[in-house]
Amino acid sequence: MVGRYFLITPTILAIDLITQRYIKMKSHLIAIVKTITAGCLLFMFSKTEAADYNIRDFGALPDGKTIATASIQKAINQCSREGGGRVMIPTGKFLTGMLALKDNVELHLERGAVLWGSASKDDYGTSKGEKALITAYEVINAALSGEGEIDGNGRAFLKGDNAPDRPVLISFKRSKKISITGITLKNSAFWGLHLLYDEDVVIDRIHIYSHANFNNDGIDIDSRNVTISNCVIDTDDDGICFKSDSPFICENVTVTNCVIASNCNFIKMGTASAGGFKNIAVSNCALRRASESNFRFWNKKNLGVIDSISGLAGIALEVVDGGAMDRISISNITMEGVQTPVFMRLGSRSHPTGSLRNIIISNIIARACSPIPSSITAVPGFYVDNVTLRDIFIEAPGMAGPHDAAPTIPENEKAYPENRMFGATLPAYGLFVRHVKNLTIDNLVLQLQHEDSRSALYFSDATQIKIDQLQAPALKNTSPVIMCDATKNLSISGYIAPGVIPLFLHLRDARTSRILLVNNDWNGVQKIYTRNAEVAPNAIMQK
């Protein structure tokens, strides 16, 4: 009995301990279930608070004929007044004039839904913001979403280039926490999407197709803290355009993973630059030929443009109305259907001259379709400063004759900045540089489709220039690969001739000095350099 007692007692104690732990565990499980249940109820309550407001319930008819402005606006107003939610645009075509988004409203377009812009200017009224089909002024937490379309019916307002009194398709002004996702924007009467003085904006997976009118920009950004990603943009005017019309600085913006087509400039900063552009990154974008061209016809303007449809500059960085451009990175870009791959301009159009500095452009593959080369220029007395061009491949059409090799290039200090502002050609087929300091060119590869009589690179009033790993085709005339005019503190290294090179470098102007050639392979180069009489004999050094 005693032995059996001591045998049984531990077992009973173990069972009692397990029972107690089970009771405690059960209590914990009940508490967890209660917590989850309460959370689910709270979630369900939150979902019911953010209600959906179907515009059909407010009287909107999907016949494309009955004006639905009042019905849609009533749904938006009620949604905002009751704490926010989604205003649903169901399948169908809804004719509307100007709509004003409100706080905490998501305008959601289902697949097959179309907001169709009225052709009457009287249906756009007045707004504290811009005249637009959809406008938002001082709105917080608003969104456009879905798989439907917003069509501006832009041809109804066809009045000519820069004609006034045309509505923007979508305009957000002085607004915060904005999201635009999934939708398609088509046929604007003016600009497509304008972000003016906004903060904290997310744009993702939208499609823009706008060839219905003049000035059909895709996205115009004059805001801060903006991300744009995964968009497809096909426009007659500028594809993505950064602007700064006031002291407000356009800053902290990223653009990535987009396909951009344009008959004008593909990625552009300017012309408006009063406040400036800072801390902007553009990456991983494919630039291609626009789907149509109804207003441009560049091949008929005596510019040497080969293709009937093409855009001006793939990358256009312009400060001509004051302001500062600083800390800009543009990388991993492919281009076709562009006349000029890179165009950078510091000018003095309407304000005291600003500044353009600290720019990196890298990993570019471009096929150009005009003899107007890439260029970096400023005006006398000012310099584009601290620019790096790295890992860039450009295939140029060539075909320029001897008369294009050394023309007089006007300064055009107050001219509108465009790749053709200096004329139909420049004295280089690859890159023209004037009034620039602290320029690094690292691994620039140039190819020609046809023979050309111009230099690959042309420098004028340039200082602190570093060139490494340049590759440029042989020329079958006496033009040098590199022309230096009033250039100093230039170093060239890592050059390997791709064939027989009659002349590599020519020095002009008495101000040309301190030219250093180091670690180059001159095999195939018949003459390394020549100089004009006014250039000092010791202006060039070799190591």
CATH of the domain at 183: 2.160.20.10
* Calpha distance 153→134 (Å, rounded): 13
Domain boundary among 435, 452, 473: 473
Q: Per the domain annotation, does 478 fall within a domain?
A: no
Distance from C-alpha of 208 to C-alpha of 217, rounded to nearest angstrom: 10
- What's the first-to-final CA gap in the chain, in angstroms? 107
Domain count along the chain: 2
- Which residues make beta-bridge pairs with 382? none
Which of 196, 216, 236 delimits the end of a domain? 216
Answer yes or no: do 207 and 331 share one domain: no
Element (H or E) spanning 262, and its range? Answer: strand 259-262
Residues 6 or more apart in contact with residue 526 via CB below 8 angstroms: 500, 501, 502, 503
pLDDT value, residue 297: 87
Q: Which two tokens stand for residue 368?
A: 């150009």
Handedness of CA 345, 208, 223, 245 (dihedral sign): positive
Answer for the pair 121, 157: CB distance below 8 angstroms, yes or no.
Answer: yes
Check: CB of residue 475 under 8 Å from CB of residue 502: yes
Rounded Cα distance between 73 and 70, Å, is 5
Q: Which of 317, 316, 262 is nearest to 286 (CA)?
A: 262
Tokens (6 digits) for 514: 């301190």
Pair 461, 319 in one domain: yes
Same domain? 192 vs 282:
no
Contact partners, residue 76, CB within 8 Å, separation at least 6: 53, 87, 99, 100, 101, 102, 105, 107
Cα dihedral angle (310, 311, 314, 319), rounded to 10 degrees?
160
Please name every residue paired with 482 in a beta bridge, in sequence order, or none if there are none. Answer: 457, 505
Residues 313 and 447 placed together within one structural domain of the fold: yes
Quick one: 305 and 370 in the same domain? yes
Q: Is residue 13 part of a domain?
A: no
Question: Within a domain: residue 380?
Answer: yes
Neighbours of 37 (CB within 10 A): 10
Provide the 8-state DSSP code for 255: E
Whole-angstrom distance, CA of residue 441 vs CA of residue 426: 19
Does the pTM surpass 0.85? The reply is yes
pLDDT at 481: 96
- Cβ neighbors of 13 (< 8 A, separation 6 or more) are none
| Whether residue 271 sits in one domain with residue 199 | no
In a domain, 313, yes or no: yes
Please give the structure tokens belonging to residue 180. Answer: 């635009």
Residue 492 lies in a domain: no
What is the C-alpha separation between 128 and 140, in angstroms, rounded? 15
CA gap 241, 260 in Å, rounded: 11
Task: Give a yes or no: residue 40 inside a domain.
Answer: no
Could you give the CA distance from residue 150 to residue 210 in angstroms, rounded to a whole number? 11
Count of positions (residues) in the chain: 543
Q: Is 157 exposed, middle or buried (0-12, 13-18, 19+ CB in 10 A)?
A: buried
339 with 413, same domain? yes
In this structure, are 271 and 420 located in the same domain?
yes
235 upstream amide cis, omega within 30 of 0: no
Mean pLDDT by 10 residues, the chain (543 residues): 34 39 44 42 42 97 98 98 98 98 98 98 87 97 98 96 95 98 98 98 98 98 98 98 97 98 98 96 98 90 84 97 97 97 94 95 97 96 98 93 80 94 93 98 96 94 98 82 97 93 95 97 95 96 90
Query: 172 and 280 in one domain?
Result: no
- Confidence (pLDDT) at 11: 35
What residue has token string 């300017």? 270
Any domain includes 235: no
If asked whether residues 161 and 273 sit together in one domain, one would say no
- Do 432 and 366 belong together in one domain? yes
Residue 360: strand pairing partners: 329, 388
Range of the domain at 141: 50-216
Last residue of a domain, one of 428, 454, 473: 473
**Residue 426 belongs to a domain:** yes
Residues 469 and 352 in one domain: yes
Tokens of 376: 């970096």
